[in-house]
Amino acid sequence: MVNTTTQSQTNQSSLTGEDIATLIAHASNVIVPLSPISIFAARHPWVNLEDKDFKHVVRWLDNTRDVDIYPGTKTIKQAYRDGEISDTILEEKLSQWLNTNNSELSSTEKYRYCTGALKFEDLAKDTLQEVKQSNLARVSLSELMDDTHMVRSMPPRSKHIKYKNPHTYLQLLDYHVIKWCKLYLDENQSSWTLPNREQGFFYAWKKLVVHDPALSKTERQTLATLPNDPYEVIAEALTSLDIPEASRQGYLESHLLALPGWAGMLLWQMEQTHKKSHLITEYLAIRLALEWTFINPYLPIATTRPIPRRSLQTLVGEWYEWGGLDVTNWQQMSLEQQQEYLKFALAFDDKTRRQIWLEAWEETYEDQLKEQLLTHNQDQQNNQVEAQLAFCIDVRSEQFRSQLENAGPFETIGIAGFYGLPIASAKLGSNHSHASLPVMNSPQHKIKEYARPHEMKTYHERKNSISTLIYTFKKMKQNVLPSLLLPELTGSWLSAQMLSRTFLPRPIGRFIHKFYARWLQKPKTSLTLSHDKFGVEEGLPVGFSKQEQINYVHQALKLMGLTEAFAPLVVFCGHGSQSANNPYASSLDCGACGGAASGFNAKVLAMLCNLPDVRKGLSELGVEIPTETVFTAAEHNTSVDNLTWIYLPTLSREAKASYEHIEQVMPQVSKQANKQRMLTMPTIKNNIANPEEEAHRLANDWSEVRPEWGLARNASFIIAPRRSTQNKNLEGRAFLHNYDWQQDSDGSILGNIIAGPATVAQWINLQYYASTVAPHYYGSGSKTTQTVTGGIGVMQGNASDLLTGLPWQSVMKSDFEAYHAPLRLLIVIQAPNAYIEKLLSTNSDFQQKVTNGWLQLASIDNDGTWQHWS
């Protein structure tokens, strides 16, 4: 690069690699690591901004990226019509805001204006005509406004630049960056891999960009002169573009926020590979180099200026229509009086109004939940519990659990689906392991599934034959000559498959599943539970030591409050989903297991609990498990609401009777759960004759865009004994985690729940929130127009950001009505206030979430008093 001024040269010399690294480290907080869609793991997009107030981040995003993260007016109005927002609470929230406003206007005037503004009605044409007759010339709106009420125009803006508007320039820059990101991050989906990819993103780009036909000859020559060090490129770009020192971090943040999907995927790759060559640095070097190349001929470019969000005429018109003023009133006012009215209108802007509506919506939900939880259950008959079933805290488990409890003397328990096991799982026949725990943690052990050698060999051969067939078909499609023969060879078969899967999705789906199962003939397997017999792989011990086995089981049983009164049969229920032609299949699996089904973890824990040495060790810790108690594992299929047994050892007589009872009632449980769930689907009629058949159709239909709702409408996380939530209609909106403070003398169990499962739930909640309020930026658009790219994610078209948020169909009933209620998660803890105070004082991250409004916190004291913590 050639610096444009002497001042730029001076500034460059003061920018060291360490300075650049520090700038990038701070700027990277505006994005989050995003995993490939095949292992979809929920991360809320503002996780690194929780040190700032939620309301501040709302304003900042709106000003810098024109991204609005408050619920839209249509969503708010629909919630109000549905009775989800109380008039009384809305009035209280408005009063609270008015009490904090220091305007000198009378209370009557302020209240009248605000109540009119809260209706979200457009100004009448007569009002706008009346405003034109007002004398507004002497009022200077810019003097009253700060950055809160301004939006900055996007650079560059110059009459000399060849791009017609700044957005054209930004689109060009994004187009080129997207192209190179696709090539670098491709997971073997394309026929040709990016040359020199193994030597780093920046190196590979720099070698090839000089041959890019999409660039002009001059631009290619300019890029050929770039330094080989990405840090030097960034330093020269910052100085050549004359970015002031105070604005450099914000400038880099803007570049990262321009394509948060691609940048987030690179950040995830950094975390996984622990590369010393920082991909984010290389990514920014490429963006800045391209930007400098595009606009260098037109430097210097005029600095952009803030633009008012609301015109003077609009503000005055609002006072005419909502505040009761008229032309005569306005013209008779002094300049100071007019400014007072305008300042108040600026303060009570659209963001403030929707903030009040959101808070009223959240408090209304809290009041409704409070009423349910503080209503005591009628005394239940103390029947002998036949079985205890531990389900994931997932909101979809709540309604299934209720149906199961109503069907017999069964007790259900809530715990995070990874069951407290920090493992990487390697299923039979897989060459790769999956981190089967919350994404904020790292595996400490590897557990592999294995079988007898000759059975393993046969299974591998059958599985590889299918993989080879799929691989060959893909390669034939990608090559010129074989692709010409492919229609002749496979046309009849593919046509039959298309017709059958289109018109007979349910029976064909079942046939395909049965065919694969019979073909593979998966043998009976074991797990590498003992580290003494297995070594170390990928830096992780395979299996557990004997003491670790005891410790993990003891910890899991304490987390679920199951340390006494064991039933003859204990079932650890993982969960997974089933759908066809669905890139988002993993988003419907267990969020606590990093986007995988949690049956594997359930099986590991059940097998550990049955080990004699583990039971002996638990006995020494005061946990006595009766000899007739047997631990088993099953998996809840959330798409069709059934339960499949995945580990069923030899049962005692008592346990066998419990198992048979569960099998007897399960068809009715599944039917009722499906019926309840199908009523929420927008395409299903209320009088559906067979809800189970319809659920299977949705799960097997390859044209179905909504096989299930997933975790939509999640709103609360309840940490309490099951008796507090049992027989309550929680509408499938609550994460339920068992907890008894009387068994947690030091509060450590509560601390673990908050640090792990509650954090996962909050991330899920805010991901659904973000995908609902800003689907164009944090969501991924309609499934019908998505393109799977690089094997890592989806795009809209072939040149968009990598869209790793939730699709439109996961949060919306229709184009105009949201299904998910975008509320910040409400955590309810049943424990004495002293426990909550200790939790907030010792867990600074959690206190920060509460204080800065990233979640809501309430508790139920031991005397039944409800306390809201703010």
Quick one: tokens of 712? Answer: 């939509």
At residue 295, the 3 state secondary structure works out as helix
Task: Give the pair of three-digit tokens for residue 84.
Answer: 């989800």
Report CA 686 to chain centroid distance, whole Å: 31
In whole angstroms, give the CA distance from residue 492 to residue 470.
17
> Is 392 marked as binding a ligand?
yes
Nearest of 309, 267, 297 to residue 284 by alpha carbon = 267
- Given the DSSP bridges, would you call strands 856-860 and 866-869 parallel, antiparallel or unpaired? antiparallel
Q: Which two tokens stand for residue 347?
A: 């303060």
H runs (alpha helix) in 28-133: 54-65, 73-81, 87-100, 107-117, 125-132
Distance of CA 210 to the CA centre of its chain: 39
Q: Confirm or deny that 609 is annotated as ligand binding.
A: no
Report how far Cα 631 is from the mean position of its chain's Cα atoms: 33
Residue 32: partners with Cβ closer than 8 Å, 6 or more residues away: 43, 44, 45, 46, 47, 48, 264, 267
Torsion angle (degrees, nearest 10) of CA 405, 411, 414, 420: -140
Q: Report in angstroms the alpha-carbon separations of 513 from 166, 270, 486, 506, 525.
A: 52, 37, 25, 11, 20
Do 456 and 430 contact (CB within 8 A), yes or no?
Answer: no
Dihedral angle, C-alpha 784, 788, 794, 796, nearest 10 °: -50
Measure the CA–CA gap between 146 and 854, rounded to whole angstroms: 25
Q: How far, in Å, CA of 190 to CA of 859, rounded?
A: 53
Identify the DSSP state of 528: -
Q: Is 114 annotated as a binding residue?
A: no
Taking phi over 0 as left and psi of -120 to 50 as alpha, with beta for the rest, 710 belongs to left
- Strand ranges of the sheet holding 734-737, from the earlier edge strand across to the other edge: 734-737, 716-719, 826-830, 856-860, 866-869
> Measured between alpha carbons, how far is 97 from 116 in angstroms, rounded to an integer?
15
From CA 708, how far away is CA 698, in angstroms rounded?
A: 8
Phi/psi for 387 (5° steps) reads: -150, 145
Q: Are 19 and 11 in contact (CB under 8 A)?
A: no
Burial letters 403-436, b for 16+ CB under 10 A, else e: bbbebbebbbbbbbbbbbbbbbbbbbbeeebbbb
Identify whether the C-beta of residue 156 lies closer than 8 Å to the C-beta of residue 298: yes
CB of 837 within 8 A of CB of 843?
no
> Residue 70: left if φ>0, alpha if ψ -120 to 50, beta else—which one?
beta
Q: Which residues make up each annotated binding site for Zn(2+)?
A: 392, 394, 575, 590
